[in-house]
Structure 1
């Protein structure tokens, strides 16, 4: 049968969609684009904000209008966190964030007999990590490897722990096995992803840490670049940096989740660190790695945030000198403690986001200018306007002259920047 999947949300959702597509192909099914005719349409939903919920509902209603005869299925975080909404949705199959293999079996049955099914479990009862096939899309140079699921941080604005349940980790030997398989399949970069990869190992015997995992993956896939997903700042210690700096294939790009540069705001967010500890992590990375790219996320206009608190955030992000930032005006997530706090006006949230974005752009431009004159090993991915585009180990985009460079790593001397990407020429071998 023909199956189309529409994915909303984070890299973990993207990974799980890719895994479901691989499982479906293994069972003899054909994957088609969501705009094409199919026997079944799957919406892999997100619930990080109320807007995400709305997008999931809109996708369901749209496909029901346009393809009334097809089977319509919903899975993911929205279904898991809002089971009471499911009766209002005209879906043939509803499942949550667990047992993707079982979901595919139910999908096949729904297409065969056209009966409606709901398969929702209790996320907090989960104890085992579901091992799914790793990989990337066709012709991709980079593969994602999901090594962890779940989160128990309970930030005051976040519903994801209720969607994903407790921390579960991919065992070390199986992570190494999957990494070796990805290397054998020709991937030149592996991205370690999860809901909260800093928590990897806390549920495993002996409580290994993230550095143990990184070392094992690098050893299993020598010559393949390894990139880390988002890190909790307290993961970065002197010992962590010392071990990671000895790994030549580990990319020197570190995404340290910040959310606010004000201690009082961080306290309301129920984050587990303060600005002093965060800055210590940034300084450690800059000490142990050669001009690493430290990137982050920032929420502006969090409930009760004053102008003075935001000013503290602006000063703090400039002190950190980020290579890139993702900036979001706070969006109310119903069902979280932050929903009950005093809200900042929408216009104020947006205005603060603009001011933060301006500061972020200055830092990004400074980082790109500092790359000029350096030479990076660039993993090329796709043609762009007669040239080829790839990523340096620090994840900066690089454009250089060349043909047929897909999935090839070449040294590139950086000659300039246009403010968005780095411009370079292939270095002589």
Structure 2
């Protein structure tokens, strides 16, 4: 039995995909071990959303080869996809697999191992760009199609997820997660390793689409993930029913660009997407596909909560927000990508909304839902961002008053439009601006949590934790505020209601029932 160590970097979509890879390997008899142990095979699911993500990807690949020079080191994911040439020059990588072939990783790996064994352990040559070639440093490239049903969780995730640590990096550092808001998980972005499941049989992340057609000027993701491809509704529901039967009570819908779900289902030849001559692709029809999927998920027995990943402001309409509000299982927790609070900066970013439009969407959510949690992403130091533009952004963030913000320093990505722009902002200026917004985020987040004290809340219990010498069950409210109840009064994976009486720690409410 060969041992395999897995490590995930980047978004919730990556985390979901590595869970599937790990489960498939286990089914084939591989022994999954911790990444810090000696293994026969190391698989690193890489990220390329920032320069820091690239560096962390390389570091983990090098660490794997250092732990066992004789091991097969496999690089999968976006760093490989977006930077093939660099990956091929990296001597720590034995096999590189693009995003669209992750679902075939077991077959690709076994063919590679068989070929290497036949060669007596000698490195073999070959055309690294030929998809069927499985030689050393072979690159199995992305295509425009994907059999999504093959990337389906076979069972609930383990308590800490395969290759990832439990816990969240939300809003706590400029280098966590992804500035494009492409992460799609519970918060729209996930830090290194990310959160795949806080507790077994409690929460599951469900990938419903891949790819992005937006081409924001700073973002490399469309080049790494390809165009929008949506997963068939029946496949999503089949997976969720299976997870519900095994005890999962909360699902989080994830995707690279969740708001585009269904746009590739539209028949572009029959004109059905036209209304009074207006092209509805990217607006009404996509909202309908996503809302219909959510309605069907809400009808699944055993599922108590539905949480959405990162959304674009354009998807929030009276019809869409009202449709969600009519479903009690939908959590009032919305991650709306912003990136900048200055209209001129948004134009340079190729974001297709104004700050006024964005504010109207937040106001709509707050009108339809009672005290919803609204979170966002903000990039500081985008090319050409002046002190005046940054000040405008900060005032806008103060006006909106978010629950949590992911604050990122702009990262120059080769091949994007923004990389060639003039007036690149110095790193020390980015750091100063980032620090200022992180302090604002801490103040706003603390105030939002404090607002729950004295009110009735409901949590879905997850992990056991000792706080100040006492044993608690910790979980989250519908708005993803962390809260704890005495362990003697609650088991795991239970919906518990009570009154929030105080903060036990900086970000954990005490619930008394």
For the aligned pair, the TM-score class normalised by the smaller chain equals over 0.9
> Equivalent residue for 2:174?
none
Which shows bigger deviation, 203-212 or 174-183?
A: 203-212
> Equivalent residue for 1:290?
370
Is the Cα–Cα contact under 8 Å of residues 385 and 425 in structure 2 kept in the other structure?
yes
User: Partner of 2:79: helix, strand, or coil?
Assistant: helix
The question of 1:397 aligning with 2:482 is answered yes
Is the Cα–Cα contact under 8 Å of residues 305 and 329 in structure 2 kept in the other structure?
yes
> Equivalent residue for 1:137?
158
User: Partner of 2:100: helix, strand, or coil?
Assistant: coil
> Equivalent residue for 1:159?
220
User: Partner of 2:475: helix, strand, or coil?
Assistant: strand
Deviation at 1:44, TM superposition (A): 0.8
The question of 1:18 aligning with 2:98 is answered no
> Equivalent residue for 1:8?
9
Q: After superposition, where does 1:21-60 map in structure 2 within 5 Å?
A: 21-60=22-61
Q: Distance in 2 between matches of 1:274 and 1:243?
A: 24
Q: Distance in 1 between matches of 2:303 and 2:89?
A: 51
Unpaired segments of 5 or more residues in structure 1? Answer: none
User: Partner of 1:104: helix, strand, or coil?
Assistant: helix
CA offsets 1:386-421 (integer angstroms, 9 cap, x no match): 222110110000022224622121113101225732
Q: 1:126 aligns with which of 134, 145, 149?
A: 145
Q: Distance in 2 between matches of 1:52 and 1:402?
A: 38
Unpaired segments of 5 or more residues in structure 2? Answer: 117-134, 160-198, 268-284
Is the Cα–Cα contact under 8 Å of residues 80 and 120 in structure 1 kept in the other structure?
no
Is the Cα–Cα contact under 8 Å of residues 40 and 111 in structure 1 kept in the other structure?
no
Q: Distance in 2 between matches of 1:316 and 1:130?
A: 42
Q: Identify which of structures 1 and 2 has the higher relative contact order when contacts are C-alpha pairs closer than 8 Å and 6+ apart.
A: 2
CA offsets 1:147-203 (integer angstroms, 9 cap, x no match): 010001001110000011111111112212211111111112100001011100111
Q: Distance in 1 between matches of 2:322 and 2:337?
A: 21
Q: 1:301 aligns with which of 381, 402, 407?
A: 381
Deviation at 1:328, TM superposition (A): 1.1
Deviation at 1:117, TM superposition (A): 5.1
Q: After superposition, where does 1:194-343 map in structure 2 within 5 Å?
A: 194-205=255-266, 207=285, 208-341=288-421, 342-343=423-424
Q: 1:116 aligns with which of 113, 131, 136?
A: 136
Q: 2:495 aligns with which of 402, 409, 418?
A: 409
Which shows bigger deviation, 151-160 or 91-100?
A: 91-100
Is the Cα–Cα contact under 8 Å of residues 128 and 168 in structure 1 kept in the other structure?
no
Deviation at 1:293, TM superposition (A): 0.3
Q: TM-score, normalised by structure 1?
A: 0.95
Structure 1 runs of 4+ aligned residues shifted over 6 Å read none
Which shows bigger deviation, 47-56 or 307-316?
A: 47-56
RMSD (CA atoms): 1.7
Q: 1:106 aligns with which of 108, 113, 134?
A: 108
Q: 1:180 aligns with which of 230, 233, 241?
A: 241
> Equivalent residue for 1:360?
441
CA offsets 1:231-285 (integer angstroms, 9 cap, x no match): 0111111000110001111111000011100000011111111101111110011
Which shows bigger deviation, 252-261 or 362-371?
A: 362-371
Aligned residues: 426
